[in-house]
Amino acid sequence: MENFWDILTWGAWIGAAALLLWMILDAIRVNREYSEELLISSREGADELLEADKKGGK
Amino acid sequence: MAAETTAGKTERINLLKVLGPVHVWALGVGIVLVGEYMGWNFSVQKGGAYGSLIACLFIGLLYTCVAMIDSEVTSTVAAAGGQYAQAKHIVGPLMAFNVGLYLVLAYTMLEAADALVVGDLMATVAGQTGHDGLDPRPFVVFTVAILAWLNYRGVFMTLTVNFVITAIAFFALVVLLIGVKPWNPGEILMHSELLTDLPYGWIGVVAALQFGMWYYLGIEGTCQAAEEVRSAGRSIPLGTMSGMITLLIAAIITWYMAVGLMPWEYLGQTFLPMYDAAVLTDNTFLIVVLFIGTIFSAIASANGCINDASRAWFSMGRDRYLPIWFAAVHPRYRTPYRAILFLVPVAIAFGFTGLLDQVITFSILSGLLGYTFMSLNMMAFRRKWPLGSIKRGYIHPFHPLPALSLLVLCAATYFATFLGYGASLLAIMAFFIVASVWFHFHRYKFVRRADQFTMPWPKPKGY
């Protein structure tokens, strides 16, 4: 049982490090492959209510 | 590439609209349900069993007002950032900046607290199996990391997972209710022996209000999904109101079971009341079910908090209230990936402090400030844009009664908080005043003032 908890503890450290590393590497790859202008091009949400308002609906 | 072309001119990447009412429910109830498994019981310590029930119902009324107000405003302001976006459009930039900070701090600290709970539970189980002194930190970090990864990879999977684990956590409470045989009082449930009068009178009931918030704290998080639901005008009210009904049911059955199983003096002190309730039944099946329910509720809460904190941070970046670098959307997963990544070390840092009660108090106070804003915001919203002037997906009844009730209930809860955590209350007020000064004199000059107002609304009445 002692070994089980030691393995679980190391597994948690290694798993966490692997996941964080994956995200950082992916973010770096995305930053290189796409222009900054495109990445920050999002505009505040549009919904069918917004569309109705644009068309003059209430 | 998953970019979207808008009006055939500019190529844009927006958040993905893939969510439905079920995901909205999973987001709201998922954040909150951990409060049924732990935390609410400190209200018993302050006001006794009946004091806790009064707090449960009184604060339930507060949150019903929150849910109704939120549903109406969010069905109109369909934007990520939730109350932040509402404040920006209805009150003004300084209010919006403060509300954005309330949201990010409330959710990030709650996420850290949830991860701490997972770590502490693992250490408890290790201790019970003969391995004392297990370091909870790797489990805290792993919880934050795997949930951040899930959020990074896409909102649909994130909230679908949240739906499944939240539903399991809710049904674990129902299984316990069946297990304690409420149809046969006196066999397992001992209400007639355990219930007492108010031990500290009505002042104890007032003091219990602060912890009564645990039954529902976070349901307002549903509106952070507004930009990613397929039909905000329908899905947000449906998901939020059904979530609130779920929580009212969960709160009542939680209180009923716990106060019938253990004396209020013990219930008011334990950290895991529902797990303890299962242990008291001496039924191994119930113990395992409630252990799973506790873990799942904490994970679902942390998962929803990452979703909400990152949307608020992302929205503030998009409006340049923070560096616009945070406003990036992942071209494949369509998530605010930089905001998600940035908040990971912040949550881990809060988690590593190990100060669960301080972290939670700061989170609750940030939430309370947000609710105070919501009542004022609702009154301004109806005054500036009366019914019929803009399209609303949902119109809440009896205005201004819910907004006024919310304001009165918030004032009572501030008083209750001052009784127990006066220094924390003053410290958080000082923090937000300093942040406001920084925003006004330093940051606001970077904001493109016209760009931030995106709703095609008519001019507000009186302007």
Per-domain boundaries in chain A: 21-58
Q: Which residues of A touch B (CB under 8 A)?
A: 1-2, 5, 8-10, 12-13, 15-17, 19-20, 22-24, 26-27, 30, 34, 36, 38-50, 52-54, 57-58
Instruction: Compute the average pLDDT of residues B53-71.
Output: 91
Q: Above 90 in pLDDT, residue B231?
A: no
- Stronger pLDDT, B164 or B124, i.e. the higher one: B164
**pLDDT (0 to 100) of residue A53:** 52
Q: What average pLDDT is seen over chain B?
A: 90
Q: What is the pLDDT of residue A57?
A: 43
Q: In terms of residues, how long is chain B?
A: 463
Average pLDDT over residues B364-393: 89
Q: Which of residues 241-300 of B touch A (CB under 8 A)?
A: none
CA–CA min distance A25, chain B (Å): 11
pLDDT-above-70 percentage for chain B: 97
- Residue A45: predicted pLDDT: 63
Q: Are B247 and B67 in contact (CB under 8 A)?
A: no
Of the listed ranges B23-32, B157-166, B232-241, the one predicted with least confidence = B232-241
Provide the pLDDT confidence category of residue B217 given band limits of 50, 70 and 90.
Answer: confident
What are the residue ranges spanned by the domains of chain B?
24-446
> Which residues of chain B neighbour A35 with C-beta distances below 8 Å?
none
Tens of pLDDT along B88-100?
A: 888 889 999 999 9
DSSP string, B41-110: THHHHHHHHHHHHHHHHHHHHHHHHHHHHHHHHHTTS--TTTHHHHHHHHT-HHHHHHHHHHHHHHHHHH
In chain A, the residue whose alpha carbon lies closest to the alpha carbon of B11 is A38
Task: Residue B311: name the closest of B144, B104, B14, B7 by CA.
Answer: B104
CB contact under 8 A, A53 and B149: no
Question: Does ipTM top 0.95?
Answer: no
Question: Span B381-405, mean pLDDT?
Answer: 90
Q: B436-443, long-range: CB within 8 Å, 24+ apart, which pairs? A: B436/B94, B436/B97, B436/B98, B439/B94, B439/B97, B439/B321, B440/B94, B443/B97, B443/B321, B443/B322
Q: How far apart are CA B53 and CA B47, in angstroms?
A: 9
Q: Cβ of A40 and B341 within 8 Å? A: no
Q: Is the dihedral of CA A40, A46, A50, A54 positive or negative?
A: positive
Closest CA to B81 of A44, A2, A47: A44
Q: What is the CATH number of domain B24-446?
A: 1.20.1740.10
Chain B hits for A46, Cβ within 8 Å: 78
Smallest Cβ distance to A40: which of B148, B324, B457? Answer: B324
CB contact under 8 A, B328 and A39: yes
Collect the ranges in chain A with pLDDT lower than 70. 1-2, 45-58
